[in-house]
Amino acid sequence: MAFTYQVSQPYLTGREQEYLTEAVSSGWISSQGPFVGRFEEQFAEYNEYAHGVACSSGTTALTLALRALGIGPGDEVIVPEFTMIASAWAVTYTGATPVFIDCADDLNMDVELLESKITARTKAIMPVHIYGRRCEMDAIMKIAYEYNLRVIEDSAEAHGVRPVADIACFSLFANKIISAGEGGVCVTNDRHLAEQMAHLRGMAFSREHDFIHKKLAYNFRMTNLQAAVALAQLEKLDEILEIRKRIEAHYDAGLEGIEGLTKLPPRDVLWMYDIRAERRDDLRESLAVDGIETRLFFQPMSRQPMYLDPVWPSLNATRFASDGLYLPTYTGLTEGDQDRIIAKIRQFYKAD
């Protein structure tokens, strides 16, 4: 079904075409081209980190980060219940075990529960800034320091939130705040970790290129074509964040005082405008008829068939999954578009 208002659309109003043409004209289309290094350097600088390592997706960024930190079989990594499956999968890919932690009322990992999840096997914590809300990083970093744990920030949904962890991983998928179509990038201040991630990303070739490979590695490289688009997007990031701030404020004002809707706390950057709704499934259907696409919230990790917890604990994350949805949220969305979406929601709840 074609929606008039999709939940997400890329915003390609900068120098994407120019850089892409430059990349194609130069003949550099593989990961060897100069845009990759330029993007890595500027992305790291934007985030006030020393090193950037570009790769093929947010998922592979997380995998590289975990592997570079030496996490593997027998280790545990604390991952939120309420997140996209890739956060947990990255841990599973390394052979380590994800240990799930419920969310608080801002949908982010509940820091109060953090210490209760730490065991002798715990090696790292993976906070995820859900829908653009920054996790309580001070508290998380303090606990990590006390227990000598590494921290990997899953910043896939939070470009513009300055990371503080050992490694932060971003996604450049088409629905994220900035995009390269597909892509990912890690930032770190540790030169050794950056080198490890770059090494693992590119099949662990030896310096001598003698085809002796000492590690199980990957082809997780980003092409120069993707990096050309990513760099143009990065140049626009501040502007994109400003526009999205206005989108958030306009939804906030328009959806004020509707009985049946519950707002969530404000975001640090807007990825998706999330809200809790009574009769959510009926609302979704009614909006879809009017050409407005919405998306459900994430399902808790311990409800996923592959991570199914037979104890079936009562979770905050389950509550949110049962009545949460997000509205069309993209940088090109106009106030007029938003007004039409808001009017339909008001109509549904008879809140005119």
Nearer to ligand PLP, 294 or 342 (CB): 294
- If one asks whether residue 57 binds ligand PLP (CB under 6 A), the answer comes out as yes
Asked if residue 178 binds ligand PLP (CB under 6 A), the reply is: no
Please tell me whether residue 7 binds ligand PLP under the rule CB under 6 A.
no
How is residue 304 annotated by DSSP?
S
Nearer to ligand PLP, 60 or 122 (CB): 60
Minimum separation from the CB atom of position 87 to ligand PLP (A): 5
Name the 3-class secondary structure at 249. helix
Q: Say if residues 183 and 156 touch (Cβ distance below 8 Å).
A: no
Amino acid at residue number 228: A
Number of residues engaging ligand PLP in binding (CB under 6 A): 14
Complex with ligand PLP: residue 5 or 131, whichever CB lies closer: 131
Shortest separation between residue 230's beta carbon and ligand PLP, angstroms:
12
Residue 134: DSSP 8-state: P
User: Minimal distance in Å, beta carbon 222 to ligand PLP?
Assistant: 11
**Distance, CA of 250 to CA of 2 (rounded, Å):** 25
CA–CA distance, 82 with 35 (Å, rounded to integer) = 35
The Cα 20–Cα 295 span in angstroms is 31
Q: Does 168 bind ligand PLP (CB under 6 A)?
A: no
Binding-site member from 44, 84, 240, 345 for ligand PLP (CB under 6 A): 84
Q: Which residue has the tokens 């990371």?
A: 163
For ligand PLP, the closer of residues 63 and 188 by Cβ is: 63
- Cα–Cα distance for residue pair 147/124, rounded to 1 Å: 10
**Taking CB under 6 A as the rule, does residue 59 contact ligand PLP?**
yes
Q: Which positions from 119 through 158 interact with ligand PLP, judged by CB under 6 A?
A: 128, 154, 156-157
CB atoms < 10 A from the CB of 212, how many? 9
The residue type of 273 is Y
Contact between 177 and ligand PLP by CB under 6 A: the answer reads no
Residue whose CB is less far from ligand PLP, 86 or 164 = 86
77 closest CA partner among 147, 133, 137: 147
Residues of this chain that interact with ligand PLP (CB under 6 A) are 57-59, 83-84, 86-87, 128, 154, 156-157, 171, 173, 184
